[in-house]
Structures are given as structure tokens and as C-alpha cells.
Amino acid sequence: MNGRWLLFPFLVFLGGCCYGPSSPTVKLAYAAGFSVNDVVMTQYFYGWMILLVLVAAGFAFGFLRRPKNAAPWTAKRVLRLIATGASIALVSMCYCFSLQTVPAYVSVILLFQFTWMGVIIQALVERRLPSRRTLTAVAILIVGTILATGFIGTDAQLTVSGVVFGMLSALFYAVYMFLLGRTETEMHPLTRSFVIMSCSLALLICIFSPAYVLNGTAFSGIWIYGIVLGFIGCALPMFLFSIGAPKISTGAATILSSSELPASIICAVIILAEAVSWMQWIGVALIFFGIAYPYLGRRSWTL
């Protein structure tokens, strides 16, 4: 297999893994007394700050340059960037709203429906049915997700709003991966990540209120969690996705990014010393197998 083509799927897989330490960090922030709104805003605010510093350093030291003879900006190009930033911001918002009315493991299961949604989006855009390998992989991932979240044997209390917001978080994530693979792909990944993150932060400020920045919450004790969440939960995965997603299909990107769940469980064990049942470990193994299944014995990383 060509190592160059192996790189891009690996970067998307690694981007999903970056979200792993985020969940334990979020739990620590909640334990410290911070609200859901504060944590979400902090994650995106510090993610934006980190990308701002990197972009400024890139231009200062010559790693980034203004493109020569660049195509003029049009309303369509701007709207696609705004839509990309808005979609990932809406993922966080809908997921948090879902968490308020249904158990966390149910919200996770609902969020991870983005795997088959991404495959459907690709099928609709390309007007061709997904391969049998892809469908099998999605089925394995869904089973693995149910096992890994500890859903079996529990008496989940569901609400309509919780389920709707959970499914919306999955839809917006699938849309985000689709747009990220097709929006301004000629732009440097670092610059593109910063622009998309700026759109995300602007939307969140409008919805959650500018008070987060104006009243100094962003620079209170939450900054300790903000730097970690901003880097591993926003800046780094968005940068890795910006490099890898345009080089592979939407279906492949959503399947590969499902590495987030097993990475979260592994990090929860390491960081928070949480107990994980043998059934959950089977779910983790199934998710990793489902990610790899479409490519076993293949020479191409396209689906």
C-alpha cells in the first residue's frame, strides 16, 4: 500500500482519537463547578486562541504566505466556510442539550449515528450505493458503540427532545465531515482551521451570549481546562481533519473518526481510573475492527 495514501486516513483516525482525553477533562471541569455552557464556550474560545497564535506565528516566520493570484472571494465560498464552522458548533450544542434530558451513554449512542449518516450523504452526493464492506463496517460500529457505552442491561429513560437533539448532533457531525472535505481545500490546513473555528466561535457567542468573554469568565479558573480542551478538543483534531478529510471520502472520514469513543474510554480508565466492564472492552475492540474492516486486504483507502 502506498504510504502517502495511508497517511491521510491515519490523520483522520488520529483526529478522532484526539477527542479521547476531552471527555475526562470535561468531567473534571464539571466537578470543579463549571457549567455546560462555560465548558463548551471555553473549549472553542481557547481552540480559537491557539489557532490564532499558530497562524500569526506562521505568517511572522514565513511558514504561511498570502496566496498569489488567489481566486476572488465570493458569497458562495464565504457561506460554505460559515456552514462548516456552524455545523461543528451545532454538534456541541445539540449534544449538550441532549445530555440534559437523557443519560450520557444514550447521547453517545445517538451521536455516533453519524457513521451511517456520513455513508448516506456520500451515497446521495455520488449517486451510488455504498459497498457491502462499508455497510458491514457501519453495522459493526453500531454494535460496538452500544456495547462500549454500557447500554445493555440498563433502564434508559428517554425523552423526545433528548433523542431529537442527539440525532441532530449526529447529523451535524456528518455534515461537518462532508463540508470539511470539500470546502476551500486549496487553503492551507492551518489557515482553514482558524477561519472555520472563527465561524464556530462567533455562532456560539451569539447563542450563548457575549457575556462569557465580556464578564471575564474565559480568563477565570476555567482557563486550565480551556487550554487542554481547546488544543485536543478543537484545534488539533480540526487541523488533522483539514489535512486528511479532503483526501478521502465522506464515508471513510466518518468511519475513521469514530475512533473517538474507544479513545475516550481508554483515557477515562487512565485519567479518571473509571471501571470498564468486559462487555465495554469487547465494544471497544469491535469499534477498532469496524474502522479497519473496509480496508482489510485492499490497496486503496477510498470507500
Would you report the helix, strand and coil content of the chain in percent, each value rounded to 5? 75, 0, 25
In a domain, 117, yes or no: yes
In a domain, 302, yes or no: no
In a domain, 57, yes or no: yes
Write out residues in the chain with pLDDT < 70, as ranges.
Answer: 1-5, 69-70, 153, 155-156, 209-210, 212-214, 297-303
Q: What is the pLDDT of residues 91-116, one digit of tens each?
A: 988 988 888 788 877 888 899 999 99
Place of cell 455516533: 112
Selection from 165, 163, 174, 162 nearest residue 116 by Cα: 174
Work out how many domains the chain is built from and give that number.
1
In a domain, 262, yes or no: yes
Cα–Cα dist 258/262, whole Å: 8
Q: How many Cβ atoms from other residues are within 10 Å of residue 188's Cβ?
A: 17
Cα–Cα dist 200/90, whole Å: 8
In a domain, 90, yes or no: yes
Cα–Cα dist 55/239, whole Å: 12
Cα–Cα dist 1/216, whole Å: 52
Q: HSE, CB side, 13 Å, CA atoms: give it for residue 138.
A: 19
Cα–Cα dist 105/158, whole Å: 11
Q: What is the pLDDT of residues 43-101, one digit of tens each?
A: 999 999 999 999 999 999 888 887 776 677 888 899 999 999 999 999 988 988 888 78
DSSP code per residue over 262-280:
HHHHHHHHHHH-----HHH
pLDDT of residue 102: 83
Grid cell at residue 94: 445539540
pLDDT of residue 303: 54
Place of cell 483539514: 242
Q: Which domain holds residue 41?
A: 3-64+72-295
* Contact (Cβ atoms closer than 8 angstroms) between residue 16 and residue 263: yes
pLDDT of residue 1: 45
pLDDT of residue 71: 73
In a domain, 301, yes or no: no
In a domain, 131, yes or no: yes
* Contact (Cβ atoms closer than 8 angstroms) between residue 46 and residue 231: yes
In a domain, 303, yes or no: no
